[in-house]
Structure 1
Amino acid sequence: MNTLCQEIYSAVVNGNARKVTEKINQALAEGIPAEIILNEGLISAMKEVGRLFEEGEYFVPEMLISARAMQAGMNLLRPILVEQDIKPIGKVVIGTVKGDLHDIGKNLVSMMLEGAGFQIIDLGIDVTPEKFLSAIQEHHPEIVGMSALLTTTMMNMKSTIEAIAQAGFRDKVKIMVGGAPVTETFARQIGADGYAPDASRAVVEAKRLLGIAI
């Protein structure tokens, strides 16, 4: 791995956003392609962050700090990648369902997915079934992700899945759900394709749903 990419990798793993932006600017100035910086500096680092979380060495605060450092780097690389027409590994529409105003978990999932190479369309909080449908029609994602933190809003996942089916899009997207009160059993009951208990495993599940090697 290029020395600068190694420094970017380490800065992401350690959650040093300032160093990430500094080293990415330096790497770009030295002519290192944005795609190499993305893959070797950011994506590989977030994979390591996920491993550290899975093994209990990192917790949500550390993962969030690393994800924010990765985001700082993505803000620099995204315009270049778009200009060069570098394709993401998949497109995800994500939002917290209607009636639920919690977004920390959803935001972390979004950042981890982007750090794994997905393009994210974040609809925010309190997202109605109609808004999910509109986003599917506009962006043609492979995956729709839904989050809920309240038991009272969990059933809005079911109504959103039903709305997607009624609109004729159910066979065009994979649906993934998560959130504190959500379980794998509930996910199956409401007809979701996938479930993840945390942001790290959301990346693994999203890749599984699209048949991408982990």
Structure 2
Amino acid sequence: MVTQDELNEKGKAAVMDFDGDVVAEIAEECISAGLDPIDLIQNGFTAGINEVGTQFEQGSLFLPHIIAASEAMSAGVEVLTPVLENLSAQAEDKGTVAIGTIEGDIHTIGKDIVATMLKVAGFNVIDLGRDVPIADFVEVVKEKKPAIVGSSALMTTTMVLQLQVEEQLKEAGVRDTVKTMVGGAPVTQDWANRIGADIYAENASDAVVKCKAAFE
């Protein structure tokens, strides 16, 4: 019987090989072996994506590789989704979080993982999608009144727009009605402090822990 760590390593390698079919098979194996799908996503698939991202930053891989790795991971997450939805249905409702990838940024995989993990943890998640205009972040706060609004940025060129979310929430007079969360590969705690965001999420697990704390 395969162990969780062994499965995670296989998942990481398959994502780094850009092989969606193998990733899906590993997800099926996770279910049939009764192992933890969240652990596989976080420490297997996501670890693979992160390694591909590191190689991209170093110049040894390119944007098509990022897209291929993301698509491979999505194939695995799709297989695991019914299990994850069942877990989320059993969880106690903890409140509403709105989340989206910032304007100008088409990366969704990190945001999707955070959204999935929050749902499993029992949060009602409003997924705004990718390339989300700043005005839409403001609008969802005004209309849906989530307790937390989160923006993901995967590039330094789009990260600066997280500051615009803060400023436009203030201009709309709703900044004090919501906690803001920021995350993404180039985002740091220092950046969150500089722009005045309430929460910095280093990864999906961190986002869940900090969102839970914000509701306590």
TM range, normalised to the smaller chain? Answer: 0.5 to 0.7
Contact 1:17/1:70 (8 A) holds in 2: no
Q: Aligned to 1:60, which of 46, 64, 68? A: 46
State yes or no: 1:173 paired with 2:183: no
Looking at structure 2, the residues matched to 139 and 17 of structure 1 have their Cα atoms a distance apart, in angstroms, of 39
Contact 1:100 1:153 in 2 (8 A): yes
1:17–1:72 Cα contact (<8 Å) kept: no
Instruction: Measure the CA separation in 2 of the matches of 1:58 and 1:200.
Output: 13
Give the structure 2 partner of residue 124 of structure 1. 129
- Aligned pairs, how many? 166
**Corresponding position: 1:71 with 2:81:** yes
* Post-superposition CA distance 1:1-55 (Å, at most 9, x none): xxxxxxxxxxxxx8449958xxxxxxxxxxxxxxxxxxxx9xxx57x739x95xx
Partner of 1:159: 164
Q: 1:144 to 1:16 in 2, by over 3 A?
A: same
What 5-or-longer segments of structure 1 have no aligned partner? 1-13, 21-40
Question: CA shift at 1:138, angstroms?
Answer: 2.3
Letter in 1 for 2:82: A
TM (normalized to structure 1)? 0.65
Once the two structures are superposed, what CA deviation does each residue of 1:159-199 show, in whole Å capped at 9, x if it has no partner? 01111111111111111100000010000100100101111
Q: How many Å separate the matches in 2 of 1:177 and 1:69? A: 28
* 2:103 pairs with one of 89, 98, 105: 98
Identity %, equivalent residues: 41
Classify the secondary structure of the residue corresponding to 1:123: strand
Which has a greater percent of helix?
2
- Supply the AA of the counterpart residue of 2:152: S
Q: CA RMSD in A?
A: 3.3
1:74 Cα deviation after fit: 5.3
Letter in 2 for 1:127: V
SS of the aligned residue for 1:180 comes to coil
Distance 1:105 1:161 in 2: 21
